[in-house]
Amino acid sequence: MDVNKNNHYLSEFSLARYLKLMAKKFPQFYETFWFDRPKTLSIINKMTKIPTDFEGKEKGGRGDSYMEAQRDPLVRIVGINKLLSLAVSSQDLVKLSHTYKILDVLGGDGTIARAYSLLMKERANHLLILTGDIAEDMIINALKYGLPAIRQPAQYLFLKDNSFDAVIIAYGTHHIPESQRLRVFKEAQRVLKPKGKIIIHDFEKNSPIELWFHEVVDKYSTTGHKYSHFSKAKLRIYLKNSGFKNIKIFQMYDPFVISDSNKQNSYNRLMDYVLNMYGLEKLKVNRSLLEVRERISHLIRKYIHYDSFPPDFIKENTYWRKTLSFYQQNGRFVAEMPRIALVAIGQK
């Protein structure tokens, strides 16, 4: 790999410096890099000039509050755990081979990788997940957490063919413009090893969460939220047309769960999480924090309710909440906002 590139890549890092760091700290992922791929430098140039919604406030994005929410990656552990078990095909996470590699394409500042480390505690003796993202601030933060991370667009990965066992495209797939989605899934297919798995996660068209994005996040976030979500039929076509086999599409319980020793704190922390997660800055205008929390609680109750069990809900899901819930478990106070996500898996 030619590392004599002085191009700007990440703040504080030229491409050459970044590559040197990765080669030293994360050789298992460095060997998958393909920065000599044709067009890479022009794509890096373009990527570093166009800020996205998830950069920090200074660049006009909502990344700061988003990263604040993700400081606790366990809030979404129910869904993340499921995605990880799909990515390792239900093999034991602890006993996985040291060469097993997962790419998290829309990885932000490494929420899934950090949740994995917390899940495994000291039992995880190798880093399994490469966090990718287009946003500079996300990747800088992921590196600060000590994670292997790469700044790249999902549409053109700076990674070699046949190099990953699983690719996760989750928690933001709707941010990819419809006209570019097929290209993104084809890129995932290219970097997967034969028999490797793709896991796609988003929310279904006409679902409570779609309405939440269109009527709450679009109205109250500084960036707006005009993105289209997925239908099962369209997801299947995308996966088929990108060369995947054994395609399965189903719904998955993916709530926000906060557990606290104090009842009031569990409520406050969940409302603050939702405020930051979705960057609902405009709700703060002329409202005290107490009023903002009340407003969020009202909006969740208005938009998020699941009246019946989805017919294709994954079988092992025995528990779920229909709407915003507060309850006690093992002597702790739990606050939970239910979400039902749409998941598709396929094999190369």
Smallest gap from residue 317 Cβ to ligand SAM (A): 20
| 255 near ligand SAM, rule: CB under 6 A | no
Smallest gap from residue 307 Cβ to ligand SAM (A): 27
Report the run of H or E that residue 233 belongs to, with start and end: helix 232-241
Question: Can you tell me whether residue 332 is helix, strand or coil?
Answer: strand
Strand order through the sheet with 256-260: 256-260, 332-337, 325-329
Query: Which ranges constitute the DSSP H helices of 249-339?
Result: 263-277, 289-303
| Cα 185 from Cα 244, distance rounded (Å) | 9
Smallest gap from residue 185 Cβ to ligand SAM (A): 12
Q: Which part of the chain contacts ligand SAM (CB under 6 A), choosing from 13-21, 27-35, 103-111, 324-332?
A: 103-111
Query: How many residues form the binding site for ligand SAM (CB under 6 A)?
Result: 18
Closest CA to 126 of 152, 148, 153: 148
Q: Which of 13, 26, 171, 333 binds ligand SAM (CB under 6 A)?
A: 171
Indicate the residue among 167 and 333 with the shorter CB distance to ligand SAM.
167
Q: Which of 22, 26, 52, 256 binds ligand SAM (CB under 6 A)?
A: 52
| 135 near ligand SAM, rule: CB under 6 A | yes
| 57 near ligand SAM, rule: CB under 6 A | no
For residue 146, give the amino acid letter. G
Smallest gap from residue 172 Cβ to ligand SAM (A): 3
For residue 106, give the amino acid letter. L
Indicate the residue among 202 and 333 with the shorter CB distance to ligand SAM.
202
Indicate the residue among 156 and 250 with the shorter CB distance to ligand SAM.
156
Report the run of H or E that residue 101 belongs to, with start and end: none
Question: Can you tell me whether residue 255 is helix, strand or coil?
Answer: coil
Query: Which ranges constitute the DSSP H helices of the chain?
Result: 15-25, 27-30, 40-49, 63-69, 77-87, 111-120, 136-144, 181-191, 208-212, 218-220, 232-241, 263-277, 289-303
Smallest gap from residue 53 Cβ to ligand SAM (A): 7
| 111 near ligand SAM, rule: CB under 6 A | yes
Indicate the residue among 300 and 333 with the shorter CB distance to ligand SAM.
300
Smallest gap from residue 306 Cβ to ligand SAM (A): 21
List binders of ligand SAM among 139-168 (CB under 6 A): 153-155
**Cα atoms in the Cβ-side hemisphere of radius 13 Å centred on 89:** 13
Q: Are 324 and 337 in contact (CB under 8 A)?
A: yes
Indicate the residue among 20 and 186 with the shorter CB distance to ligand SAM.
186
Closest CA to 158 of 3, 305, 289, 32: 32
Q: Which residues bind ligand SAM (CB under 6 A)?
A: 52, 54, 70, 106-108, 111, 133-135, 138, 153-155, 171-172, 175-176
